[in-house]
Structure 1
Amino acid sequence: MKVGTLFGLTVLISGLALGARRLHDINKSGWWLLMSVGIFLIVPVIVLIVRYTKPSDERTSKYDPDPQQATSQ
């Protein structure tokens, strides 16, 4: 295991523990912390799904022809 990975896991676990303790100090559940982390994971996925389902531009790109035009063979 690399040192950077080990350091990152250490910071993540300690940050979650400290966040949960702080939430307990204000009489909130530690699940609020996980829900806030979940929002930062779900929102980018939704943005990507919206971008992937948008129709292509009307012009051809430098990589391939316009996919909306029918090709005759």
Structure 2
Amino acid sequence: MSFGQSIKTCFGKYIDWNGRASRSEFWYFQLFLFILYFIAGQIDSFVLGTELGQIGTTYIIVILGTMLPALCAQIRRLHDVNRSGWWCLISLTCIGIIPLLIWEASPGASGSNQYGDDPLDKSTTVE
């Protein structure tokens, strides 16, 4: 999946946590969010004059607008490695981020699993 397809897919599945997300879909979307958050921070800092260390209005609007698609993409990514979406709650602890990152970087389960078809299997993917 390309960078653009990833963004389109993740926003197209805005509140859809069913199914699975490939590594490329998830990580390209995370890269997009990082760039978007950086730009929002720069707008707040340079255009609106927000002080360093303060959270500006633009940044808050961007965070609120991308929170659900980011969470749903993370849940679908966990589904791809055969984990329940509830595992994303371990990120609320500092140490919980480590296994979460390992799972998100791991290859997905081959073939279908209880969460859906393999997103990399072209024979089951509907375009």
Q: Which has the larger radius of gyration?
A: 1
**TM-score normalised to structure 1 length:** 0.43
Higher relative contact order (CA 8 A, sep 6+): 2
**TM-score normalised to structure 2 length:** 0.27
